[in-house]
Amino acid sequence: MSDLRNRLERFFSPAPERKREQRQDRGYGEPGAEQGQNGTPDAISAHRREKGAAVGEFLGVRGLPEGKWLRRGVYLVESRHSLEEPHGTVPLRGLGESGVALSCWGGGSAPVFFDLETTGLAGGTGTYAFLAGVGRLEEHDFVVRQLFLASPAFEPDWLEMLEELLAEGTSLVSYNGRAYDMPLLQTRFALARRTSFLEELPHLDLLRLSRGVWKGDLESFRLVEVEKQVLRFVRGEEDVPGALVPELYGAYLRSGNAAVLDGVFLHNRWDILSLAALQSLLGRLASEGGTEARDCLRAGRLWARAGETEKASRFWRKAGEDPTQRSEAFRCLAQAAARRKEWPVAEEFWRASLSGGGFSLVPLVELSKIWEHRLRDMDKALVFAEEALRLLLGQRAFLPGPLWERQRMELRKRVERLRRRAAQQGPQQER
Protein backbone atom coordinates (compact mmCIF):
# COMPACT_ATOMS: atom_id res chain seq x y z
CA MET A 1 0.00 0.00 0.00
CA SER A 2 2.61 2.54 1.04
CA ASP A 3 4.75 1.04 -1.70
CA LEU A 4 1.96 1.72 -4.19
CA ARG A 5 1.66 5.24 -2.88
CA ASN A 6 5.38 5.83 -3.36
CA ARG A 7 5.24 4.52 -6.88
CA LEU A 8 2.23 6.66 -7.71
CA GLU A 9 3.97 9.75 -6.41
CA ARG A 10 7.10 8.99 -8.34
CA PHE A 11 5.18 8.47 -11.58
CA PHE A 12 2.79 11.32 -11.34
CA SER A 13 4.30 13.66 -8.77
CA PRO A 14 2.82 17.10 -9.33
CA ALA A 15 4.94 20.23 -9.26
CA PRO A 16 5.69 21.30 -5.67
CA GLU A 17 3.70 24.55 -5.99
CA ARG A 18 0.53 22.66 -6.77
CA LYS A 19 0.85 20.51 -3.67
CA ARG A 20 1.21 23.54 -1.48
CA GLU A 21 -1.76 25.28 -2.99
CA GLN A 22 -3.92 22.22 -2.44
CA ARG A 23 -3.01 21.90 1.15
CA GLN A 24 -4.20 25.46 1.66
CA ASP A 25 -7.43 24.88 -0.12
CA ARG A 26 -8.21 21.77 1.83
CA GLY A 27 -8.55 23.09 5.35
CA TYR A 28 -12.29 23.59 5.72
CA GLY A 29 -13.10 26.82 7.54
CA GLU A 30 -9.82 28.50 6.69
CA PRO A 31 -10.22 31.93 5.17
CA GLY A 32 -7.34 31.23 2.82
CA ALA A 33 -9.45 30.55 -0.24
CA GLU A 34 -10.63 34.14 -0.41
CA GLN A 35 -7.22 35.40 -1.44
CA GLY A 36 -6.81 36.24 -5.08
CA GLN A 37 -10.37 37.50 -5.21
CA ASN A 38 -9.40 41.09 -4.59
CA GLY A 39 -11.95 42.27 -7.16
CA THR A 40 -14.84 40.82 -5.19
CA PRO A 41 -17.28 43.61 -4.55
CA ASP A 42 -18.01 43.98 -0.90
CA ALA A 43 -21.63 44.57 -1.79
CA ILE A 44 -22.10 40.95 -2.79
CA SER A 45 -20.42 39.55 0.30
CA ALA A 46 -22.56 41.79 2.44
CA HIS A 47 -25.70 40.47 0.84
CA ARG A 48 -24.97 36.92 1.78
CA ARG A 49 -27.62 35.62 4.02
CA GLU A 50 -27.87 32.54 6.06
CA LYS A 51 -31.51 31.80 5.36
CA GLY A 52 -32.10 28.34 3.98
CA ALA A 53 -28.65 27.46 5.12
CA ALA A 54 -29.79 24.27 6.78
CA VAL A 55 -29.27 22.22 3.61
CA GLY A 56 -26.15 24.12 2.72
CA GLU A 57 -24.70 23.70 6.15
CA PHE A 58 -25.24 20.02 5.91
CA LEU A 59 -23.07 20.05 2.81
CA GLY A 60 -20.55 22.36 4.41
CA VAL A 61 -21.08 25.07 1.81
CA ARG A 62 -20.29 28.63 2.80
CA GLY A 63 -20.13 31.99 1.07
CA LEU A 64 -22.90 31.71 -1.53
CA PRO A 65 -24.61 34.87 -2.80
CA GLU A 66 -28.06 35.58 -1.39
CA GLY A 67 -30.51 32.93 -2.50
CA LYS A 68 -32.27 29.81 -1.38
CA TRP A 69 -31.84 26.05 -1.39
CA LEU A 70 -34.47 24.43 -3.57
CA ARG A 71 -33.42 20.89 -2.84
CA ARG A 72 -30.46 19.22 -1.34
CA GLY A 73 -27.49 20.46 -3.35
CA VAL A 74 -29.51 22.78 -5.63
CA TYR A 75 -29.37 26.51 -4.90
CA LEU A 76 -31.20 29.40 -6.57
CA VAL A 77 -29.98 32.98 -6.87
CA GLU A 78 -32.38 35.53 -8.34
CA SER A 79 -31.77 39.06 -9.58
CA ARG A 80 -34.03 41.65 -11.23
CA HIS A 81 -33.09 44.26 -13.77
CA SER A 82 -35.13 47.27 -14.73
CA LEU A 83 -36.10 47.43 -18.37
CA GLU A 84 -35.40 51.16 -18.31
CA GLU A 85 -31.73 50.57 -17.76
CA PRO A 86 -29.82 49.78 -20.95
CA HIS A 87 -27.20 47.03 -21.10
CA GLY A 88 -24.30 48.76 -22.78
CA THR A 89 -26.13 51.10 -25.14
CA VAL A 90 -28.99 48.70 -25.81
CA PRO A 91 -32.28 48.90 -23.90
CA LEU A 92 -33.86 45.61 -22.90
CA ARG A 93 -37.35 46.69 -23.84
CA GLY A 94 -39.36 44.80 -26.45
CA LEU A 95 -37.78 41.39 -25.95
CA GLY A 96 -41.03 39.72 -27.01
CA GLU A 97 -41.18 41.72 -30.25
CA SER A 98 -37.55 41.11 -31.13
CA GLY A 99 -38.12 37.42 -30.45
CA VAL A 100 -41.00 37.33 -32.89
CA ALA A 101 -38.98 39.27 -35.48
CA LEU A 102 -36.43 36.48 -35.29
CA SER A 103 -38.95 33.64 -35.34
CA CYS A 104 -37.49 32.48 -38.62
CA TRP A 105 -34.32 31.53 -36.66
CA GLY A 106 -36.09 30.01 -33.66
CA GLY A 107 -37.08 33.16 -31.74
CA GLY A 108 -40.41 33.53 -29.94
CA SER A 109 -42.66 35.91 -28.06
CA ALA A 110 -41.63 34.65 -24.62
CA PRO A 111 -37.90 34.00 -24.95
CA VAL A 112 -35.92 32.22 -22.23
CA PHE A 113 -32.25 33.21 -22.31
CA PHE A 114 -29.82 30.68 -20.93
CA ASP A 115 -26.16 30.01 -20.51
CA LEU A 116 -24.17 27.33 -18.68
CA GLU A 117 -20.93 27.47 -16.71
CA THR A 118 -19.14 24.14 -16.98
CA THR A 119 -16.20 22.24 -15.58
CA GLY A 120 -14.34 22.43 -18.87
CA LEU A 121 -14.56 22.71 -22.60
CA ALA A 122 -13.32 19.21 -23.32
CA GLY A 123 -16.77 17.81 -24.06
CA GLY A 124 -17.63 14.17 -23.56
CA THR A 125 -19.14 12.59 -20.51
CA GLY A 126 -16.67 14.00 -18.00
CA THR A 127 -17.67 17.63 -18.40
CA TYR A 128 -20.70 18.89 -16.53
CA ALA A 129 -22.45 22.19 -15.86
CA PHE A 130 -22.64 23.55 -12.31
CA LEU A 131 -24.30 26.89 -12.90
CA ALA A 132 -27.13 27.76 -15.28
CA GLY A 133 -28.27 31.30 -15.82
CA VAL A 134 -31.86 31.58 -17.05
CA GLY A 135 -33.30 35.00 -17.94
CA ARG A 136 -36.79 36.04 -18.92
CA LEU A 137 -39.21 38.92 -18.88
CA GLU A 138 -41.50 39.08 -15.87
CA GLU A 139 -44.02 41.90 -15.61
CA HIS A 140 -41.80 44.99 -15.63
CA ASP A 141 -38.46 43.40 -14.95
CA PHE A 142 -35.93 41.25 -16.60
CA VAL A 143 -35.30 38.42 -14.14
CA VAL A 144 -32.17 36.29 -14.08
CA ARG A 145 -32.37 33.03 -12.15
CA GLN A 146 -29.13 31.23 -11.47
CA LEU A 147 -29.33 27.59 -10.60
CA PHE A 148 -26.26 26.38 -8.76
CA LEU A 149 -25.16 22.78 -8.33
CA ALA A 150 -23.42 22.51 -4.97
CA SER A 151 -21.91 19.11 -5.73
CA PRO A 152 -21.96 16.79 -8.76
CA ALA A 153 -23.63 14.20 -6.56
CA PHE A 154 -26.93 16.10 -6.85
CA GLU A 155 -26.91 16.58 -10.59
CA PRO A 156 -30.14 14.65 -11.32
CA ASP A 157 -32.16 17.02 -9.14
CA TRP A 158 -30.41 20.02 -10.60
CA LEU A 159 -31.23 18.83 -14.13
CA GLU A 160 -34.85 18.39 -13.23
CA MET A 161 -35.16 21.90 -11.79
CA LEU A 162 -33.31 23.35 -14.77
CA GLU A 163 -35.64 21.66 -17.21
CA GLU A 164 -38.59 23.25 -15.41
CA LEU A 165 -37.03 26.71 -15.55
CA LEU A 166 -36.14 26.46 -19.22
CA ALA A 167 -39.59 25.29 -20.23
CA GLU A 168 -41.31 28.42 -18.89
CA GLY A 169 -41.25 30.33 -22.20
CA THR A 170 -41.89 29.74 -25.88
CA SER A 171 -38.33 29.32 -26.99
CA LEU A 172 -34.73 29.16 -25.85
CA VAL A 173 -32.13 31.77 -26.67
CA SER A 174 -28.43 31.03 -26.30
CA TYR A 175 -25.01 31.93 -27.56
CA ASN A 176 -23.59 28.83 -29.26
CA GLY A 177 -26.12 26.74 -27.35
CA ARG A 178 -26.99 24.55 -30.30
CA ALA A 179 -23.44 23.34 -30.64
CA TYR A 180 -22.36 23.42 -27.01
CA ASP A 181 -24.87 23.86 -24.18
CA MET A 182 -27.68 21.74 -25.58
CA PRO A 183 -25.55 18.69 -26.51
CA LEU A 184 -23.91 18.94 -23.09
CA LEU A 185 -27.30 18.88 -21.38
CA GLN A 186 -28.37 15.93 -23.52
CA THR A 187 -25.26 14.09 -22.36
CA ARG A 188 -26.04 14.90 -18.74
CA PHE A 189 -29.63 13.70 -19.09
CA ALA A 190 -28.44 10.49 -20.74
CA LEU A 191 -26.00 9.87 -17.90
CA ALA A 192 -28.87 10.32 -15.47
CA ARG A 193 -30.63 7.66 -17.59
CA ARG A 194 -33.49 9.92 -18.63
CA THR A 195 -34.54 11.83 -21.71
CA SER A 196 -35.40 15.50 -22.02
CA PHE A 197 -37.78 17.45 -24.20
CA LEU A 198 -35.48 20.48 -24.23
CA GLU A 199 -33.98 19.60 -27.57
CA GLU A 200 -37.39 19.83 -29.20
CA LEU A 201 -38.00 23.42 -28.06
CA PRO A 202 -37.46 26.20 -30.62
CA HIS A 203 -33.95 27.47 -30.08
CA LEU A 204 -32.49 30.75 -31.28
CA ASP A 205 -28.68 30.60 -31.33
CA LEU A 206 -27.42 34.18 -31.38
CA LEU A 207 -23.88 33.12 -32.25
CA ARG A 208 -24.98 31.72 -35.58
CA LEU A 209 -26.99 34.81 -36.30
CA SER A 210 -24.18 37.17 -35.28
CA ARG A 211 -21.74 35.36 -37.54
CA GLY A 212 -24.02 35.94 -40.49
CA VAL A 213 -24.66 39.58 -39.69
CA TRP A 214 -21.21 40.83 -38.73
CA LYS A 215 -19.16 38.55 -40.93
CA GLY A 216 -16.05 40.46 -41.91
CA ASP A 217 -16.78 43.26 -39.46
CA LEU A 218 -15.71 41.50 -36.27
CA GLU A 219 -12.46 39.71 -35.73
CA SER A 220 -13.81 37.39 -33.10
CA PHE A 221 -17.26 36.19 -32.23
CA ARG A 222 -16.56 35.49 -28.59
CA LEU A 223 -19.41 36.96 -26.58
CA VAL A 224 -17.18 39.46 -24.76
CA GLU A 225 -15.94 40.75 -28.11
CA VAL A 226 -19.44 41.13 -29.55
CA GLU A 227 -20.51 42.88 -26.35
CA LYS A 228 -17.70 45.36 -26.68
CA GLN A 229 -18.06 46.09 -30.40
CA VAL A 230 -21.79 45.86 -30.87
CA LEU A 231 -23.46 46.43 -27.51
CA ARG A 232 -20.76 48.83 -26.29
CA PHE A 233 -20.80 46.96 -23.01
CA VAL A 234 -17.50 46.53 -21.20
CA ARG A 235 -17.29 44.12 -18.31
CA GLY A 236 -15.79 45.36 -15.09
CA GLU A 237 -12.65 43.99 -13.51
CA GLU A 238 -14.78 41.75 -11.31
CA ASP A 239 -15.49 39.58 -14.32
CA VAL A 240 -13.84 36.18 -14.40
CA PRO A 241 -12.42 35.10 -17.74
CA GLY A 242 -14.30 32.00 -18.90
CA ALA A 243 -11.09 29.97 -18.97
CA LEU A 244 -10.69 30.25 -15.19
CA VAL A 245 -14.21 29.09 -14.38
CA PRO A 246 -13.50 25.31 -14.13
CA GLU A 247 -10.56 25.87 -11.84
CA LEU A 248 -12.58 28.07 -9.49
CA TYR A 249 -15.36 25.52 -9.19
CA GLY A 250 -12.71 22.90 -8.40
CA ALA A 251 -11.32 25.18 -5.67
CA TYR A 252 -14.82 25.61 -4.27
CA LEU A 253 -15.43 21.84 -4.22
CA ARG A 254 -12.20 21.24 -2.34
CA SER A 255 -12.79 23.99 0.23
CA GLY A 256 -16.58 24.28 0.53
CA ASN A 257 -16.14 28.03 0.31
CA ALA A 258 -18.35 29.40 -2.48
CA ALA A 259 -17.03 32.94 -2.12
CA VAL A 260 -14.45 32.09 -4.79
CA LEU A 261 -17.35 31.81 -7.21
CA ASP A 262 -18.67 35.37 -6.80
CA GLY A 263 -17.03 36.41 -10.03
CA VAL A 264 -18.50 33.38 -11.82
CA PHE A 265 -22.03 34.24 -10.75
CA LEU A 266 -21.49 37.76 -12.00
CA HIS A 267 -19.95 36.56 -15.25
CA ASN A 268 -22.91 34.30 -15.89
CA ARG A 269 -25.42 37.05 -15.09
CA TRP A 270 -23.71 39.39 -17.55
CA ASP A 271 -23.83 36.66 -20.18
CA ILE A 272 -27.59 36.49 -19.80
CA LEU A 273 -28.04 40.25 -19.94
CA SER A 274 -25.87 40.41 -23.04
CA LEU A 275 -27.96 37.71 -24.68
CA ALA A 276 -31.11 39.71 -24.07
CA ALA A 277 -29.54 42.91 -25.38
CA LEU A 278 -28.13 41.14 -28.41
CA GLN A 279 -31.49 39.63 -29.32
CA SER A 280 -33.10 43.02 -28.94
CA LEU A 281 -30.56 44.55 -31.30
CA LEU A 282 -30.74 41.77 -33.87
CA GLY A 283 -34.53 41.83 -33.78
CA ARG A 284 -34.52 45.50 -34.62
CA LEU A 285 -32.01 44.91 -37.37
CA ALA A 286 -34.12 42.18 -38.93
CA SER A 287 -37.35 44.15 -38.83
CA GLU A 288 -36.20 47.71 -39.57
CA GLY A 289 -32.75 47.33 -41.02
CA GLY A 290 -31.16 49.00 -38.03
CA THR A 291 -29.98 52.56 -37.77
CA GLU A 292 -27.46 53.02 -40.57
CA ALA A 293 -27.04 51.99 -44.19
CA ARG A 294 -24.45 49.33 -43.32
CA ASP A 295 -27.06 47.75 -41.05
CA CYS A 296 -29.41 47.55 -44.00
CA LEU A 297 -26.78 45.55 -45.86
CA ARG A 298 -26.45 43.26 -42.85
CA ALA A 299 -30.20 42.84 -42.55
CA GLY A 300 -30.27 41.87 -46.21
CA ARG A 301 -27.56 39.26 -45.61
CA LEU A 302 -29.50 37.91 -42.66
CA TRP A 303 -32.66 37.40 -44.69
CA ALA A 304 -30.79 36.07 -47.68
CA ARG A 305 -29.28 33.34 -45.48
CA ALA A 306 -32.76 32.45 -44.31
CA GLY A 307 -33.81 32.08 -47.94
CA GLU A 308 -36.01 35.19 -47.86
CA THR A 309 -34.63 36.76 -51.03
CA GLU A 310 -37.51 39.20 -51.42
CA LYS A 311 -36.95 40.68 -47.99
CA ALA A 312 -33.22 40.66 -48.51
CA SER A 313 -33.48 42.55 -51.80
CA ARG A 314 -35.68 45.16 -50.20
CA PHE A 315 -33.03 45.88 -47.59
CA TRP A 316 -30.26 45.95 -50.18
CA ARG A 317 -32.14 48.35 -52.38
CA LYS A 318 -32.60 50.57 -49.35
CA ALA A 319 -28.90 50.32 -48.56
CA GLY A 320 -28.12 51.23 -52.17
CA GLU A 321 -29.69 54.64 -51.61
CA ASP A 322 -26.67 55.53 -49.53
CA PRO A 323 -23.76 56.35 -51.86
CA THR A 324 -21.17 54.88 -49.49
CA GLN A 325 -22.85 51.45 -49.50
CA ARG A 326 -23.98 51.48 -53.10
CA SER A 327 -21.40 49.25 -54.69
CA GLU A 328 -21.66 46.61 -51.97
CA ALA A 329 -25.47 46.72 -52.09
CA PHE A 330 -25.49 46.24 -55.87
CA ARG A 331 -23.06 43.36 -55.61
CA CYS A 332 -25.43 41.65 -53.20
CA LEU A 333 -28.34 42.28 -55.54
CA ALA A 334 -26.33 41.00 -58.48
CA GLN A 335 -25.44 37.79 -56.66
CA ALA A 336 -29.05 37.29 -55.64
CA ALA A 337 -30.18 37.76 -59.25
CA ALA A 338 -27.53 35.31 -60.40
CA ARG A 339 -28.80 32.77 -57.92
CA ARG A 340 -32.24 33.18 -59.45
CA LYS A 341 -30.56 32.81 -62.88
CA GLU A 342 -31.88 36.21 -63.97
CA TRP A 343 -28.76 36.97 -65.99
CA PRO A 344 -29.66 40.33 -67.55
CA VAL A 345 -30.69 41.63 -64.13
CA ALA A 346 -27.49 40.34 -62.58
CA GLU A 347 -25.49 41.92 -65.39
CA GLU A 348 -27.14 45.24 -64.76
CA PHE A 349 -26.46 45.14 -61.01
CA TRP A 350 -22.85 44.15 -61.49
CA ARG A 351 -22.42 47.04 -63.88
CA ALA A 352 -24.17 49.38 -61.46
CA SER A 353 -21.88 48.23 -58.67
CA LEU A 354 -18.89 49.34 -60.76
CA SER A 355 -19.95 52.95 -60.50
CA GLY A 356 -19.83 52.80 -56.72
CA GLY A 357 -16.04 52.90 -56.70
CA GLY A 358 -13.85 50.60 -54.67
CA PHE A 359 -11.64 47.84 -55.96
CA SER A 360 -13.84 46.35 -58.62
CA LEU A 361 -12.06 43.28 -59.92
CA VAL A 362 -14.83 40.94 -58.82
CA PRO A 363 -17.64 42.66 -60.75
CA LEU A 364 -15.50 42.84 -63.88
CA VAL A 365 -14.71 39.16 -63.74
CA GLU A 366 -18.32 38.28 -63.01
CA LEU A 367 -19.47 40.43 -65.91
CA SER A 368 -17.00 38.71 -68.19
CA LYS A 369 -18.28 35.31 -67.03
CA ILE A 370 -21.91 36.25 -67.55
CA TRP A 371 -21.24 37.46 -71.08
CA GLU A 372 -19.15 34.43 -71.94
CA HIS A 373 -21.28 31.65 -70.46
CA ARG A 374 -24.79 33.05 -70.10
CA LEU A 375 -25.44 35.86 -72.52
CA ARG A 376 -22.86 34.50 -74.96
CA ASP A 377 -21.29 37.59 -76.38
CA MET A 378 -17.56 36.97 -76.53
CA ASP A 379 -16.69 40.53 -77.54
CA LYS A 380 -18.35 41.96 -74.48
CA ALA A 381 -16.88 39.24 -72.29
CA LEU A 382 -13.45 40.09 -73.66
CA VAL A 383 -13.85 43.79 -72.94
CA PHE A 384 -14.59 43.12 -69.29
CA ALA A 385 -11.82 40.56 -68.93
CA GLU A 386 -9.29 42.92 -70.46
CA GLU A 387 -10.45 45.68 -68.19
CA ALA A 388 -10.08 43.36 -65.20
CA LEU A 389 -6.57 42.41 -66.26
CA ARG A 390 -5.61 46.06 -66.74
CA LEU A 391 -6.97 46.83 -63.29
CA LEU A 392 -5.12 43.96 -61.71
CA LEU A 393 -1.80 44.95 -63.26
CA GLY A 394 -2.14 48.31 -61.55
CA GLN A 395 -2.80 46.62 -58.22
CA ARG A 396 0.45 44.75 -57.87
CA ALA A 397 1.55 46.71 -54.81
CA PHE A 398 -1.65 46.04 -52.91
CA LEU A 399 -1.98 42.29 -53.19
CA PRO A 400 0.18 39.51 -51.73
CA GLY A 401 2.62 38.31 -54.40
CA PRO A 402 1.37 34.72 -54.91
CA LEU A 403 -2.28 35.78 -54.93
CA TRP A 404 -1.58 38.49 -57.46
CA GLU A 405 0.45 36.08 -59.56
CA ARG A 406 -2.30 33.46 -59.52
CA GLN A 407 -5.02 35.95 -60.40
CA ARG A 408 -2.91 37.34 -63.20
CA MET A 409 -2.37 33.84 -64.65
CA GLU A 410 -6.06 33.12 -64.48
CA LEU A 411 -7.05 36.40 -66.07
CA ARG A 412 -4.50 36.05 -68.84
CA LYS A 413 -5.84 32.62 -69.65
CA ARG A 414 -9.34 34.03 -69.67
CA VAL A 415 -8.38 36.87 -71.98
CA GLU A 416 -6.56 34.54 -74.37
CA ARG A 417 -9.46 32.16 -74.50
CA LEU A 418 -11.94 34.94 -75.08
CA ARG A 419 -9.79 36.37 -77.86
CA ARG A 420 -9.91 33.01 -79.60
CA ARG A 421 -13.62 32.59 -79.09
CA ALA A 422 -14.35 36.18 -80.10
CA ALA A 423 -12.39 35.63 -83.30
CA GLN A 424 -14.48 32.54 -84.08
CA GLN A 425 -17.76 34.12 -83.18
CA GLY A 426 -17.09 37.69 -84.26
CA PRO A 427 -17.82 37.61 -88.03
CA GLN A 428 -21.16 35.85 -87.54
CA GLN A 429 -22.33 38.38 -85.05
CA GLU A 430 -21.43 41.33 -87.21
CA ARG A 431 -23.53 40.05 -90.01
Q: Any contact of residue 41 with other proteins (CB under 8 A)?
A: no
Residues 115-134 that bind other proteins (CB under 8 A): 119-126
Contacts by 358-364, CB closer than 8 A, 24 or more apart: 358/327, 358/328, 359/395, 359/398, 360/327, 360/391, 361/388, 361/391, 361/392, 361/395, 361/407, 362/331, 363/331, 363/334, 364/388, 364/391
Rule CB under 8 A: choose which of 37, 103, 109, 151 binds other proteins: 151
Binder of other proteins out of 1, 15, 397, 403 (CB under 8 A): 1
The yes or no reply on residue 191 touching other proteins (CB under 8 A) is yes
Q: Identify whether the C-beta of residue 385 lies closer than 8 Å to the C-beta of residue 411.
A: yes
Closest CB 211 distance from other proteins, rounded Å:
19
List the x/- string, 294-323, binding to other proteins by CB under 8 A: ------------------------------
Helix, strand or coil for residue 376? coil
Closest CA to 177 of 103, 299, 272: 272
CB-side neighbour CA atoms (13 Å) of 258: 26
Stretch that binds other proteins, among 9-17, 161-169, 351-359, 419-427 (CB under 8 A): 9-17
DSSP string, 122-150: --STT--EEEEEEEEEETTEEEEEEEEES
Quick one: 1 or 46, whose CB is closer to other proteins?
A: 1
Residue 376 near other proteins by CB under 8 A? no
Q: Give dist(CA 202, CA 106) in Å, integer.
A: 5
Question: Which residue, 22, 84, 353, 88, is CA-closest to 228?
Answer: 88
Nearer to other proteins among residue 186 and residue 229 (C-beta)? 186
Among 36, 47, 179, 190, binds other proteins (CB under 8 A): 190
Question: Applying CB under 8 A, what is the total number of residues that bind other proteins?
Answer: 33
Only segment of 43-51, 196-204, 248-256, 312-320 that touches other proteins (CB under 8 A):
248-256
Piece of the chain touching other proteins by CB under 8 A; list 147-155, 170-178, 221-229, 332-340: 147-155
| Triad 187, 188, 192: Cα angle to 5° | 115
List binders of other proteins among 11-40 (CB under 8 A): 11-12, 14, 22
Please say which residue, 7 or 412, places its beta carbon nearer to other proteins: 7
Residue of the chain from 156, 250, 309, 375 that contacts other proteins (CB under 8 A): 250
Would you give the binding string for other proteins spanning residues 169-188, x where CB under 8 A is met? -----------------xx-
Q: Which one, 215 or 406, has the nearer CB to other proteins? A: 406
Of residues 201, 155, 213, the one with CA closest to residue 174: 201
Alpha-carbon span 336 to 393, nearest angstrom: 29
The region of 81-89, 152-160, 172-180, 308-316 touching other proteins under the rule CB under 8 A is 152-160
Burial 286-314, CB ≥16 within 10 A → b, else e: beebbeebbbbbbbbbbbbbbebbebbbb
Instruction: Classify 87 as helix, strand or coil.
Output: strand
Q: Residue numbers of the site for other proteins (CB under 8 A)?
A: 1, 4-5, 7-8, 10-12, 14, 22, 119-126, 151-154, 186-187, 190-191, 246-247, 250, 253-254, 406, 409
